[in-house]
Amino acid sequence: MKGLKQRIDKVKPQFEKGGRFSKLHSVFDGFYTFLFTPNETSRSGVHIHDSNDSKRTMITVVLALLPCCLFGMWNIGYQHALATGDIDHSFFHLFFYGFWAVLPQIVTAYVVGLGIEFIVAQLRGHEIQEGFLVSGILIPMICPVDTPCWMLAVAVAFSVIFAKEVFGGTGYNFLNVALVTRAFLFFAYPSQMSGDKVFVNLGDMPAADAFTGATPLGQMASSGTSEAIMTGVNGLPLSFHDIFFGFYPGSWGETSTFCILIGLAILLSTGMASWKIITSGIVGAFLMALLAHNFASPLYPVTYIDPLTQLCLGGFAFAIVFMATDPVTACRTNTGKYIYGFLIGALAILIRCYNTGYPEGAMLAVLLMNCFAPLIDYCVVNSNINRRLKRAVAKS
């Protein structure tokens, strides 16, 4: 690696101020620090530092997303096979079918998002921040498989600029960038983002006779009856096993609760996500689902789903593990995290059950609580301030 380093060091001056390519400084710096950890030594304060940095943090989260991502790719192939009745294929065939279906979306998200990050870093004279490494893979995973790339590009550009960069970049945004992208798509192109066509990639092949492309929650929401059962794309009923492992259509990265649990284990064991948010979120959702189930009504057919299945369905598990725990947009105080998580869980199920216009509520619940997180923190910090004031008053 010495040779490579020497070669790069040779061209480095051209990318610095006054150099021929100084306009590409932040891009160069981004790749340089990607290849070689900066040799900067501490100048003030502590002389030694923990090895964890922003890059390692983001890579760890991407690693935690991988099981969901890989399963999702396979599941796209599997759902395609079920939908077209052409099921006689190998594991790898199904996987690569999905892989090629979503690759353009992943590339689009990264190119547009990172492109904006690079430009902004250059304009501001900052280092490139790694936040989008996670957002870039999250965004395609929470979108329907057939989302057109141009829509995705517009939505990513909108959310990176208006949800993040205008506030100062990673660490300053108050809304989760990936969810803003999803919400933008949902509200700007509603016809392409819901219904029973977008969640299953049919390719050029005709659908089989029994085909239903709606997601289980979508089927329930529009059923209008207490008798409805959730079916797979081939019209056969879904078991809890199918739902837990994620063998049903949906936004492709978030269907498998099993893979989400693997990701959760990685996040918790590396200390990258707050167990406080996740635990209270699951408790909140379970209690809300239990309440709804006890007062189930045919007006709101989703309430007939039992609480445990509710937790495994749709985007809830994915949202509570990967979205609600985004440290920048979540509550930052420990007490706040419990409140924040609980309300996300409860609101997600509340919206899902009682707003038949939206078959899933996790996205809206997290975005809404993103807005309230600073207020919750403000109250928690204020109680600390009051405690301090009281102590001073008691003394005098």
Q: Give the contacts of 318 (CB within 8 A, at least 6 positions apart).
A: 68, 141, 142, 253, 254, 260, 362
Residue 125 Cα to chain centre, angstroms = 29
* 152/331 with CB nearer another protein: 331
Give just the sign of the alpha carbon dihedral 217, 363, 75, 327: negative
Closest approach of another protein to the CB of residue 3, in Å: 11
Site for another protein in 86-115 (CB under 8 A): none
| DSSP assignment string, 115-142 | HHHHHHHHHHTPPPPTHHHHHHHHHHHT
Q: Does 144 bind another protein (CB under 8 A)?
A: no
* 194/333 with CB nearer another protein: 333
Q: Does 10 bind another protein (CB under 8 A)?
A: no
* 297/382 with CB nearer another protein: 382
Site for another protein in 363-382 (CB under 8 A): 381
* 44/294 with CB nearer another protein: 44
Closest approach of another protein to the CB of residue 161, in Å: 18
Round the CA-based radius of gyration of the chain to a whole number and report it: 23
Q: Does 3 bind another protein (CB under 8 A)?
A: no
Tokens 């392409």: give the residue. 192
**Residues 162, 163, 166, CA angle at the centre, nearest 5°?**
55
Q: Does 12 bind another protein (CB under 8 A)?
A: no
Cα-Cα-Cα-Cα torsion 291, 242, 220, 350, nearest 10 degrees, comes to: 30
- Count Cα neighbours of 360 within 13 Å in the Cβ-side half-sphere: 29
Q: How far apart are CA 147 and CA 166, in angstroms?
A: 26
Q: At what angle do helices 334-354 and 275-294 cross, to 10 degrees?
A: 30
In whole angstroms, how far apart are CA 131 and each of 136, 137, 166, 169? Answer: 9, 11, 15, 9
Q: Does 23 bind another protein (CB under 8 A)?
A: no
User: Which of 16, 23, 35, 92 is the binder for another protein (CB under 8 A)?
Assistant: 35
Q: Does 384 bind another protein (CB under 8 A)?
A: yes
Closest approach of another protein to the CB of residue 349, in Å: 25
User: Which of 104, 203, 334, 379 is the binder for another protein (CB under 8 A)?
Assistant: 334
Q: Which DSSP letter does residue 234 get?
A: T
In contact, 71 and 94? CB cutoff 8 Å? no
User: Which of 86, 269, 371, 375 is the binder for another protein (CB under 8 A)?
Assistant: 269
Ramachandran area for residue 170 (φ above 0: left; ψ -120 to 50: alpha; else beta): beta
Closest approach of another protein to the CB of residue 23, in Å: 21
User: Which of 40, 88, 209, 227 is the binder for another protein (CB under 8 A)?
Assistant: 40
Closest approach of another protein to the CB of residue 129, in Å: 6
User: Which of 1, 209, 241, 357 is the binder for another protein (CB under 8 A)?
Assistant: 1
User: Which of 10, 18, 39, 204 is the binder for another protein (CB under 8 A)?
Assistant: 39
In contact, 118 and 161? CB cutoff 8 Å? no
Say how many residues touch another protein, by CB under 8 A: 61
Q: Does 16 bind another protein (CB under 8 A)?
A: no
User: Which of 72, 169, 249, 314 is the binder for another protein (CB under 8 A)?
Assistant: 169
What does residue 17 show for φ and ψ, rounded to 5 degrees?
Answer: -55, 130
Q: List contacts with another protein (CB under 8 A).
A: 1-2, 5, 33-57, 59-60, 127, 129, 131, 168-172, 269-272, 274, 327-328, 330-334, 337, 381, 384-385, 387-389, 391-392, 395-396
